[in-house]
Structure 1
């Protein structure tokens, strides 16, 4: 058997088996081993018969017994008496009713006399109602007797209808208390149905109590219902349906339907067993057979996983619906089609084809979906392709700004309701006025808001494109306080940041060029001297004094080169963050005094007047003592080298709030220019000609050390006044 034919046959046999199992689950308990007389339809008919035979035959309504149970209460008397109002109200009302008629009969004395007599009798009767309770009681009793008589007439009419409707039943029943027997038909005849009462079976119990409701004319009776208490009687005997009476029964068509459906269902269940055998022998499919590659499967697997699951579940739902429709058609519809067997056959054929198609889709959809998610990697892949993932991702992005998310949902809701309302207006034009008011005051403002925001968004996008193309001269217009306006403000800030970044980039390129130039110059100068004096030492004709002087120069230049290289290495380490601090509690006042003491003589030789202001008590801070000494030393040396001869140098240490502040001020011997912040860059000096000694790394090293201590180093210039302020957290 070819692979494709094998799969199609397997799907057909499985579809038929599933349909049979559905019918078995749904209808098996109603038909397997059951007859029509076990059906709910017949049981309901039988219970109705037993109830009505007790009501109309076994315990018929007894008028006289009912009359004996009539009672009239004081409340009923008062209710009847005052139903039309008080005595004066009723008398006045009677007089008013007769007044016009009496006046019209003025020319007929005899008629007038009769009307006056009739009026007076009614007035007298009303007065008697208020004077004599027994008079009212008799009236109420007569009304209740009339109700009982009407009820008895109705019972007789219903009895005739009952006897005509259930004439196919035969019964023989005996009251076990009184011995009275009731019989109709031959209960010994051949029966299609039989039920016995008494002995080992339960008795037929009949309750003769009645509840009688008065009609609309009995309005002067207080209680709307009358309860006639009866007795509960038990009967033994037999009820049968003779076989000969089957053609007279009202359920003969139902009986035929039941038997035909039973045969059909038994046939379907029998063929389903053959289908199961066929699947296990002839078709014999494996799980892999259903996973064959084909174009339909290719298209199906291109769908997102949740759409595949939804399509499969929809196919299963349609399959179940077709199962149910076909099952109901088998049970009922062929009867209502008047036994048009050709129509029945066509209808069933169509149903079976639909069952085959949708069951196959359900099976293949479930198997192919399972194959696509049979491991964790596939599950992750399919989830990221799913509509739910895209939707959740979109919703999350939508609510990154809660305001935009709420506005979007509100506009979508208004749009949906507007469309829904329009559909209602087409169906019921009477709602047009309400819809117009809601549209003008809700939908139209929402539409205007949407269009305005859309236009504003387009403007922002256009200006963003200009920014992306490098046109940074025009700011985005900020309108209102909406999220779009905030976005426009952010774009303006971004534009300003880009401008600053470009400026910083240009500055960085310039400093980089200067750095290379300065490093080359500062390293080349001592290196050139070393090479020059080394060559001079090679001359054998130099004197010993000259040799000593050359060696001394070489030593100085070597130390100079070593200092440059060490400073460069140190500032590089600090910039990379590879320096470990060993913080301890240090007295900054004492540390500064020691540093000043080492350079005091140098200041005197340089003809500089050093002015120092220290606190009167120790000023402690948690710093790395060695590194902080380097900061102080670099600042003092910087002032020593670059101060104008004959000027004062001010060094101040004080506590300001919670920080220790070290300030060094001097008059520069070179013009400083405007970019003082660049002085902390590596190899940057105020002496652009680089005639002074030094590496150009002093302030850069100090800046790095201060940063590592979470402190601040600030440089300011006022003309030739140069000032450095260092702050660090004090104890």
Structure 2
């Protein structure tokens, strides 16, 4: 058998299954084992019959009594008066209505018509005047119209009594004992309902509502509709007894025809369900689907070249059409099963093959090809990048991102202008509304979204710029996308960051300058003051040789301290300017650390500090200037024994970390350091805030400068009173 024929047969079976099985699930409870009288439509019609029976026979409204109960509220009177405006407005309106006709009658010298028009006008003017002069006059008019509406509704209810359902009943009022009968309820019945204390009494309600009246004098519909008469009803009456539809009704008449149509249609539905079950069995046994049916090279090659978004759109459209088709078919079959005839069945068969089979085969073809295509690794992402959607998105992005704001705004305004023109054209030519809706969905709405988004973004940039101008530099502008606005936001952020850093550096520079002047003044003044003081003392000729020698020794000590301070300051300045010469060579850091520790061993003993070293057995080399590196270690060890808490341990560690050498010194500080480690590298900054200890305060600053000149890194960490220095330098 040909592949195409097999595909058509398989699609027909699938379509049949998709129509039959859902209808079984949805409608079987309403049809299987049910009769015509079990259907919802019949139940609704019986409720209408009961309502008419209550209103016309069991508990009818007394029209004369109801007319006496009619009421007219002050609001109704006022509404009636003011419906067409104020008194003056209504009088003027009537005058204008008749002015032209009266003038024409005068010009034609038609005295009969003229007198009739004048009389008619005056009557209406008088009628309007009475409406505003007398409440009772308006009330009588409204009540009269309500009475007419009541009578009309009662007559209409009596005319709709039968509802094409012939019933017999025998009902007794449970309170008064009054009996109402019609026909014989003892005969064989097509439908029967008992009303007893156990099953529930028949509740007969009667109420009428005004459906409106005509204000003939004003030649306009009434203002009273639906709620003009409310609450005109009899108290509910309760009845027990029987209501039946005689079985004769199923033999002749309208009921018989409906019953026959129901039975015939029900068995046709049964036949459809049987065909659906057989089709399902055939799909699992005889006609099993084979993907070769749809993988035909001629169509597959063409389909594979289509863009992925076109494929997905066609797949979704096909699935959507099939879904609507199945829902519509199932709904129509069930709602028309009582009226199925040869013509209806023929039309359904044609739609079955033209829509159901065709679109089922098309859906399977697309689904199988998509599955086979995108099993290939990377094919899905490749096709998506080449899709119309991605191309359109990129084009839109390029259109708006790589253009000036003026060009972008011009494009958006042009789109909005064309949208307005299209709306006018759509109203003038309704068939263009489909194209207009497409343009709205895929052009105007995206353009509106872009416009609102960019406007909001521009407002945020302007607000942030105002904050920057006011000196608020803490909040950065969010950078979104690659548009001109995003580039502008980036530039503003860079400017903000530059200004902020500049302000911080300026503040820091001012603070350091102040501290430097203060510290240098203090550290220079202390030895200089001693030198001046002892020089003045030496001028005393009465000094003994022993006192003179003592003063000279102090002068020498203070002079050396002043010299050291000036040399350290000069050396830091040279390092900062980059004029320091270095002679790098391969140095064993292990040996250098041991020599430095030996040099300061006595100081550590004097300060009651216990040194613990962790040094490797083999040499650790680094390419450094030996003298400068000795200065680094010397400054660090001096810093340790000066500012360590007596009686604590000092840890010195050297290790090879990859191609680098790492030196780590740890000690417990004698003074409280705080949390800011950056200040420890500042010039003339000391751990001793009172500056009672000897030293220039340049030790760590000099050490850090030397390490950085060697391309290394020096870090200080403070954890409570634990002081830790880590130095990394390139190995040699």
TM-score w.r.t. structure 2 length?
A: 0.46
- In our comparison, the structure showing a higher alpha carbon Rg is 1
TM-score w.r.t. structure 1 length?
A: 0.46
